[in-house]
Amino acid sequence: MSLSVEEMNKQLPVANALPGEAVPYYMASGEGARYEINGQLVTVIARAADTGGIFSAAYISGGMGAESPFVSHKVEHKTLYVFDGILHVWLPGESRILTPGDSVVIPPGTPHAYRMASHYTRFLNWMTPGGAEAYYERVGTPIDSHVPPVRAGRSASLQEQAEVGAEFGITFPDVERVTPTFKHDAGLPATQSPYFLSAHEGERLASYQTMFTYLSRPANTGSNYFAVHTKGAKSPYIPLHFHSEHTENFLCTEGRMWLYANGREMLLTKGDFVHAPAGTVHSFAFDSHNTQMVGFLTPSVFNGFFEYFNKPTEDYMYTEGGTPYMDMEGFGRAQAEMDLTVVGPPPQRRAALEIS
């Protein structure tokens, strides 16, 4: 049974546990439901049961040579985002050598495969809608470790993977692997098609000491979600607000940031995750120089919000210094026209005040 907006406003976030219902929660890097699959560590940080059936997410990590066969998802739209190491990713007829900050967007029905090409590689596997993450539990072996195993345990055969995968609309097509290449990929396609995107590329907008970059738009994801990368200087909290129609999800990729949700203040560093369902009163602040995060917003009703108070730019880095400002007129227009309800001024820091 889902909570009303009023009930969600008061729900204290769960910490370092999958809640089993669509409530706000925090997951520190490395925490989650962990499984070994053929020498790789799969750390599930969001299941359909935790998100109201709208997405799931997992970190996948391993050593050099760890790989997957070609797979294709009948239902899920996916984004892979590289956090650590070097990852080779294949699509039909092409392949890329990806490094941290690079991503690949994969529509349903698209065969894809990967191989880890460094001694420690980690990437995020985002899937909308959720459900297929149950495959990991069925095929994998539960593991207590927070790092990939030194030596692989039980291996799941391709036949076993295919039999389980069939229950979730996952198939394992036989596709040729072309030689991986390093290529700079910029720009988003106009339609829902698979694409690679190099770090810091995408549609960029800037304001005071902050840059927002769209990694995907609704046109790229069947309107299921969109993803935006944010980087900026140290900054105070933004006004307290909530959304009634969409879920906002925060992943810190560099630096450190504060996330305030329904009265709980949380410090996020690289790999930490916060799920803020519709109705969660929240705010965030960057707390170190050049902090970076990726936000996944689903469904995509909030697309275009950042245009209200930022200007398009061809630059790749924001400029430090200058007179602090926030376009409150633009923010006010967004409140009047979009899924945004402001409920108060920016919160005051309460936790770890000795951090500066």
3-state secondary structure at position 227? strand
Q: What is the pLDDT of residue 213?
A: 97
Residues of the chain with CATH 2.60.120.10: 32-195, 202-344
User: Closest Cα to residue 137, out of 107, 111, 167?
Assistant: 167
* Alpha carbon of residue 198 to chain centroid: 16
Q: How far apart are CA 103 and CA 105, in angstroms?
A: 7
For the question of whether the overall pTM of this predicted structure is more than 0.75, the answer is: yes
User: Closest Cα to residue 284, out of 317, 312, 248, 319?
Assistant: 248
User: Closest Cα to residue 228, out of 183, 172, 175, 284?
Assistant: 284
Mean pLDDT, 10 residues at a time, over the chain (356 residues)?
76 94 96 96 97 97 97 97 98 97 98 98 96 94 94 86 94 96 95 96 95 96 96 93 95 97 96 97 96 96 91 94 81 89 91 78
Contact 203, 316 (CB under 8 A): no
Q: What is the pLDDT of residue 356?
A: 67
What are the DSSP calls for 23-89, one per residue?
A: --EEE-TT-SEEEEETTEEEEEEE-HHHHTSS-EEEEEEE-TT-B---BEESS-EEEEEEEES-EEE
Domain spanning 32-195: CATH superfamily: Jelly Rolls (2.60.120.10)
- Helix (H) or strand (E) holding 329, with range, is helix 328-337
Can you name the CATH fold of 202-344? Jelly Rolls (2.60.120)
